[in-house]
Amino acid sequence: MFRDNTDITTFASLLSTDNIVLFEKTSGVADIFAELLKNLALTYGIGNVKQILSGAPGNNNHGLPKPLNGCALLQHFRLTTTDHTRIAIGIVREGIEYNTGKTKTKIHFFFLLATPRGRPDLYLRVLKTIVGFTGDSAFVDFALKEATPEAIYKLLEKTGENIPGYVLVSDIMQKPEHLIREGHNLKEAVDMFTRTGSLFIPVVDKDGDLIGEVTLQELMRVCLPRYILWMDDFQPILNFEPFRNMLFNEDNTWLEEIMIYDIVKVHAGDPAIKAGVGMTKLSVDHAYVLEDKKLAGIVTLQQFVYKVLRE
Amino acid sequence: MQNNDGKLTFAQIGIRGAIMVAASMLVGYLSGYSGMHNAKQILAISIFTLIISATLLFWNFRLAIAFIGMAIILGGKVLTLEQFISSAELDIILFLIGMMTLVGVLKDLGLFSWIIQLVIGMEHMTGRLFIITVIIISALMASIVDEVTSIVFMLALIFQVCDTLKVKPTPYVIISVLATNIGSSGTMLGNPIGILIGTKAGFSFVDFLVWATPVMLVSLILTLILVIFWFKKDIQVLSERLESRRRMQAGLGPLVEIPYKKGLAILISAITLIALHHTLEQKLGIEKNTLLIVAPLAISGLLMIWKNERARHYIESEVEWWTLMFFMMLFAVAGSLEKTGVTEQIANNFTNTFGENPYVLTPVILFMSAIGSAFVDNIVFVAAFIPVVNEIGATPLWWALLFGGCFGGNITMIGSTANIVALGMMEKRYRQHITFLEWFRIGIVVGIFTCIIATLLLYLLIPLMPATAGY
């Protein structure tokens, strides 16, 4: 039976066998999630299903379900009508074809997660746990083979999967898409900025250790230093005169000259909030995630806010 | 003193508040032993101590405490409203408003940008030449505009050079502040204490050029030699970086053609008018120092008509209202010391202790105001001392007060407004603190050194000075 989850420790404590529902492969994804929502509403009285689905004030669910490990979808609702975290699981043994935007994949598990609106941590903590066991092929195989609510619940109980106490940087970071080596010059950096559309590029040394970054903001600051900004008159700079020097010298200007060393560095195992605090303290919009001085990921302010407030 | 951005805990506020009130009460109590038995005298001296303590312990609350102190003084009938208005030195406040507005217009016109470009565009720049340039421009700007504008402007130059060359800015920031404080003693315009002393003693702009500027210049040159030795390693690194940058044919920053002539003409006109104020006042039969006060206001007024779309910005953003309000309260409280006869009593005690020989009183006042200004805003200390010097009435003592107040500000990192502004800018930009000791090591040497030079030069000048100030 359901246990109060104000101090949740295990995943199984968030649901009961009643919240695990088997569906036929003919079911649609939207129907499955609607059914799971009804299930939670009937079992726990989490509010009016129609209102929740229509995104009534106070309840939000932004965007499409989140694909997990190629076999699961997660739909999340933040609700003002409950103080507890609730989960319903839908299972389609044969799987349903689903287009994730990049690829088509067969989805077997449908997780509907309802969290109290004022607890942004709970979603991320539970998400991590779901990612953990949907990525475990032994669990997936067994769950599909023994697809009865009781068997699956027992399995969840048996695995004793713990909900982590807090969200880690590694849970919200993204893989770095590009970087540049310190020996490169300004021209290569500007080329990379224009090619990638990025506002910042991490800089690594010859050993691959992160040493700083170059940013478009700093590039602008170098071209338009404080003493030029003092002037009220735009006439002297009307034709981008301060940028001429940079264009002339970009081939022989080393990255070091426009590099910023004072960057936010966190580690994958740090609490995620540390990245948020670091970004706020330095008034920047990204933090670098290190593993043994090597760049392992990036947390952007946009991603951080989306994860905490919306996803 | 807490950082400008720092917040105090309740415990800190409680402890500091208790210290402040205790110091105020103790000084009030002890004043009875100095011959001050009148209740109004005791109240005036206690409130003045409270404000001094506030600048030391509650930097961010100093204006609030000055307001409360003023209310107590008025409520306690120590001063009447009329006396408050006459003591608040509105002439000085108006002068400072005019100068601050003028500086805002000059900044908009690109004059300061042009001067910075002159420096970063110098072709054969070396570390030593950079230091000499920084010291000369810091002192010059401080003496013709004001110390805060000078330091904000100089730090923009220093940050530009240091960022481009990737060198630590701390030595250059310290050097610039030292030169700014020394340079601010050179004219009436450099430091609020200059205009305060000038108007109180009846000195003209030319008096400052004759008696203060030479002392400032000698002190500056000797300080220059001292800091070149003191920071020789940093200067060496700077020279190397400059040389390598020169080899790459890369400059120190973008250079654009700035139409600086209007700004320069306005500055030269303003300084000329101010410099000639004494002569013009005599010719026009105007009361002394009227033109000195009116000139910046009139020029600012004309500039605000010309740049009318920016006029509100100049008044709202370029004028440091917070500081000016504090000055007004401080002057009024210092006036209460004079009105209640406290300063007369202190002056008597002072002359009883040290005599009336200017050769004895000059170093005493100079070093006392220097030590006081090292820890308390120099204007607070000078405002307290002015009535005392006025009572004694010897000309060299006014200059001793000026040099003590300006040079003493170099001793610690909190010694003058320029120091605090510079530290704030450093922290904001680099998130780096200059430690108390890092500053004090050079500050105490330069502070004492320049005070000794000023004393010796004043000794040489005393026989040439008129016996009493004014004209």
Domain shared by B40 and B111, yes or no: no
Give the per-residue pLDDT at A55: 65
Query: CA-CA distance, A141 to B310, in Å (whole number)?
Result: 73
Burial class (CB in 10 A: 0-12, 13-18, 19+), B322: exposed
Tokens at residue B124, please? 């054969």
Q: Which helix (H) or strand (E) holds B120?
A: helix B111-120
Domain shared by B224 and B330, yes or no: yes
Per-residue pLDDT tens over the stretch A112-123:
998 888 888 888
Closest CA to A171 of A119, A140, A131: A131
Domain shared by B239 and B363, yes or no: yes
CA-based nearest residue in chain B for residue A241: B256
What one-character DSSP code corresponds to residue A105? E
Q: Which range, A110-114, A142-146, B319-323, has the best average confidence (pLDDT)?
A: A110-114
Q: Are A212 and A232 a contacting pair, CB within 8 Å? A: no
Rounded mean pLDDT of chain A? 85
A45: distance to nearest CA of chain B, Å?
46
**CA geometry: angle at B11 spanning B9 and B16, to 5°?**
95
Asked if residue B469 is part of any domain, the answer here is: no
According to CATH, the topology of domain A180-309 is CBS-domain (3.10.580)
Tokens 């007060």 sit on residue:
B401
Mutation target among B163, B167, B256, B317 for the A interface, most CBs of A within 10 A = B256
Closest CA to B204 of B299, B273, B307, B140: B273
- Whole-prediction pTM value? 0.72
pLDDT band at B208 (very low <50, low <70, confident <90, very high): very high
Residue at which a domain ends, from B41, B56, B78: B78
**CA geometry: angle at B359 spanning B354 and B363, to 5°?**
75
Contact across the interface for A249 and B250, Cβ inside 8 Å: yes
Tokens at residue A238, please? 């009307």
Instruction: Tell whether the model's pLDDT for residue A71 goes beyond 70.
Output: yes
- Domain containing B126 equals 79-464
Contacts A244 to B, Cβ<8 Å: 254
Tokens at residue B69, please? 């102190």
Contact across the interface for B251 and A245, Cβ inside 8 Å: yes
Domain shared by B70 and B119, yes or no: no
Per-residue pLDDT tens over the stretch A180-211:
998 898 899 999 999 999 999 999 998 989 99
Contacts A280 to B, Cβ<8 Å: none
User: Would you tell me the crossing angle of helices B147-165 and B417-430 to the nearest 10 degrees?
Assistant: 30
Closest CA to A311 of A44, A115, A137, A51: A115
Per-residue pLDDT tens over the stretch B209-219:
999 999 999 99
Asked if residue B213 is part of any domain, the answer here is: yes
B253 touches chain A (CB under 8 A): yes
Question: In this predicted structure, which of A304-308, B1-5, B147-151, B462-466 has the lowest mean pLDDT?
Answer: B1-5
A97 touches chain B (CB under 8 A): no
Query: CA-CA distance, B120 to A132, in Å (whole number)?
Result: 58
B239 touches chain A (CB under 8 A): no
Q: Which helix (H) or strand (E) holds B288?
A: none
Domain shared by B45 and B118, yes or no: no
Contacts B113 to A, Cβ<8 Å: 227-228, 230-231
Domain shared by B320 and B203, yes or no: yes
B250 touches chain A (CB under 8 A): yes
Q: Backbone phi, then psi, for A132, in 5-degree steps?
A: -60, -55
Domain shared by B450 and B396, yes or no: yes
pLDDT band at A160 (very low <50, low <70, confident <90, very high): low
Contacts A257 to B, Cβ<8 Å: 164, 166, 250
Residue B345: CA atoms inside 13 Å, Cβ hemisphere, count? 17
CA-based nearest residue in chain A for residue B164: A257
Contact across the interface for A231 and B254, Cβ inside 8 Å: no
B310 touches chain A (CB under 8 A): yes
Domain shared by B102 and B152, yes or no: yes
Contacts B165 to A, Cβ<8 Å: none
Tokens at residue B298, please? 């009139």
Q: Which residue ranges make up each domain of chain A? A: 11-165, 180-309
Give the per-residue pLDDT at B4: 43
Contacts B166 to A, Cβ<8 Å: 256-257
Burial class (CB in 10 A: 0-12, 13-18, 19+), B72: middle
Domain shared by B99 and B37, yes or no: no
Contacts B256 to A, Cβ<8 Å: 228, 236-237, 241-242
Contacts A231 to B, Cβ<8 Å: 108-110, 113, 258
Q: What is the pLDDT averaged over residues B274-286?
A: 86
**How large a percentage of chain B has pLDDT more than 70?**
97
Q: What is the pLDDT averaged over residues B324-335?
A: 86
Asked if residue B395 is part of any domain, the answer here is: yes
A251: distance to nearest CA of chain B, Å?
11
Q: Backbone phi, then psi, for A48, in 5-degree steps?
A: -80, 120
B160 touches chain A (CB under 8 A): yes
pLDDT band at B57 (very low <50, low <70, confident <90, very high): confident
Per-residue pLDDT tens over the stretch B364-420:
999 999 998 887 778 877 887 888 888 887 889 999 999 999 999 999 887 887 888
* A233 to B30, B220, B258, B260: CA distances (angstroms): 59, 35, 9, 11
Asked if residue B275 is part of any domain, the answer here is: yes
Q: How many domains does chain B have?
A: 2
DSSP labels, chain A = -----TT--BGGGG--GGGEEE--TTS-HHHHHHHHHHHHHHHH----HHHHHTT-TT-B--SSPEEETTTEEEEEEEESS-SS-EEEEEEEEEEEEEE-SS-EEEEEEEEEEEEETT-HHHHHHHHHHHHHHHT-HHHHHHHHHT-SHHHHHHHHHHHTPBPPSS-BHHHH-B-----EETT-BHHHHHHHHHHH--SEEEEE-TTSBEEEEEEHHHHHHHHS-HHHHT-S--GGGTT-HHHHHHHHHGGG-BGGGG-B----EEETTSBHHHHHHHHHHHT-SEEEEEETTEEEEEEEHHHHHHHHHT-
Q: Which helix (H) or strand (E) holds B151?
A: helix B147-165
Indicate the residue of B108, B160, B250 with minimum beta-carbon distance to A231: B108
Domain shared by B175 and B137, yes or no: yes
Q: Which helix (H) or strand (E) holds A141?
A: helix A137-145
CA-based nearest residue in chain B for residue A282: B431
Instruction: Quote ipTM for the complex.
Output: 0.72
Tokens at residue B28, please? 């009030």
Asked if residue B389 is part of any domain, the answer here is: yes
Burial B89-102 (b: 16+ CB within 10 A, else e): beebbebbbbbbbb
CA-based nearest residue in chain A for residue B111: A231
Contacts A224 to B, Cβ<8 Å: 254
Residue at which a domain ends, from B28, B45, B78: B78
Domain shared by B67 and B104, yes or no: no
Hey, which residues 245-304 in chain A have their CB within 8 Å of chain B?
A: 245-246, 249, 252-253, 256-257, 262, 282
State the architecture of A11-165 in CATH terms. Answer: 3-Layer(aba) Sandwich (3.40)
Neighbours of B4 (CB within 10 A): 13
Q: Backbone phi, then psi, for B341, in 5-degree steps?
A: 85, 10
Contacts A228 to B, Cβ<8 Å: 113, 254, 256
Give the per-residue pLDDT at B455: 96
Contact across the interface for B109 and A244, Cβ inside 8 Å: no
Mutation target among B113, B163, B318 for the A interface, most CBs of A within 10 A = B113
Domain shared by B28 and B130, yes or no: no
**If DSSP states are collapsed to H, E and C, what string results for B195-230?**
HHHHHHHCCCHHHHHHHHHHHHHHHHHHHHHHHHHH
Give the per-residue pLDDT at A4: 40
Query: 3-class DSSP state for residue B408?
Result: helix
Q: What are residue A288's DSSP bridge partners?
A: A265, A298
Hey, which residues 70-109 in chain B have their CB within 8 Å of chain A?
A: 107-109
Asked if residue B470 is part of any domain, the answer here is: no
Indicate the residue of A228, A252, A257 with minimum beta-carbon distance to B256: A228
What one-character DSSP code corresponds to residue A26? T
Contacts B250 to A, Cβ<8 Å: 249, 252-253, 257
A243 touches chain B (CB under 8 A): yes
Q: Are A91 and A22 a contacting pair, CB within 8 Å? A: yes
**CA geometry: angle at B173 spanning B168 and B174, to 5°?**
110
Query: CA-CA distance, A292 to A297, in Å (whole number)?
Result: 12
Burial class (CB in 10 A: 0-12, 13-18, 19+), A35: middle
Residue at which a domain ends, from B51, B78, B105: B78
Asked if residue B182 is part of any domain, the answer here is: yes
Asked if residue B43 is part of any domain, the answer here is: yes
Query: CA-CA distance, B356 to B237, in Å (whole number)?
Result: 51
